[in-house]
Amino acid sequence: PIVQILLMQEGVTAVDPAYTAPFHALGPLSNSSESGVYTDLAKFVGVRTTDGPCQNTGANNPRFPIYLETYNTTAQKLAFDFFADSIVTNPALSASLVTFDDYPMQGVKAKAGDSSAYGHRAQNVLVGPLLQYMPGDAALDEEVARLGNEFRQILHQGTGRDFVPAYLNYAFGNEGPEQWYGHEEWRMTRLREVKAAYDPNGLFSFYGPIA
């Protein structure tokens, strides 16, 4: 696999060397620098409709998300090796990728964790494995599910937690409301109350419903 690191900094035309120097010291195969405005973000990170997995090629693009509070380098190395071996032994998955998204969290953490029903305020990193392949092979479907869930489990074991918080928009579907919305029961209760108030007939329950 190719490791691509994207560093972005607001309000400047070049990212501060304090952040880029450690990566330059690794001797990357290539590096580049661009500046732009907010609407250029999709281009910078490669998520336009003409980019990679965002293209409408008919491919399956299941993801197996997990939130992390911190990076565990041991677990990441195990996950990297597992992903690399999985792709090498399954050429049909050669266009697959894994994203580690680490955003500024000052605004999110400015509010207390119990101030709202939002359940992932303590999480700092969103990991989004994406296994891309063409449909039509039931055995491959099962293998992809196994690989994706095992990759997620490797990272989960590195957290020492007994729950797996997952980003709803990337959900594979074998998680559940507690993982999508927060494992504390009081959060689920508050969200169900809001759901009942604004969608009493369950019209918007076609994806990852809270109730």
Decide: residue 10, CB within 10 A, 0-12 exposed, 13-18 middle, 19+ buried: exposed
Compute CA 63 distance to the chain's CA centroid, rounded to the nearest angstrom.
8
Regions of the chain with pLDDT less than 70: none
124 close to 79: Cβ distance less than 8 angstroms: no
Determine what percent of the chain falls in helix, strand and coil, rounding each to the nearest 5.
40, 10, 50
Residue 52: per-residue pLDDT: 87
H-run or E-run covering 86: helix 73-89
Residue 211: per-residue pLDDT: 80
Tell me the domain boundaries of the chain. Answer: 1-45, 47-164
CATH 3.40.462.20 fits 47-164, yes or no: yes
Residue 143: per-residue pLDDT: 98
Q: Is the pTM above the cut of 0.75? A: yes
Residue 95: per-residue pLDDT: 95
d(CA 172, CA 205): 16
Q: What are phi and psi of 126, to 5 degrees?
A: -110, 120
Q: How many CB atoms lie within 10 A of CB 63?
A: 21
129 close to 149: Cβ distance less than 8 angstroms: no
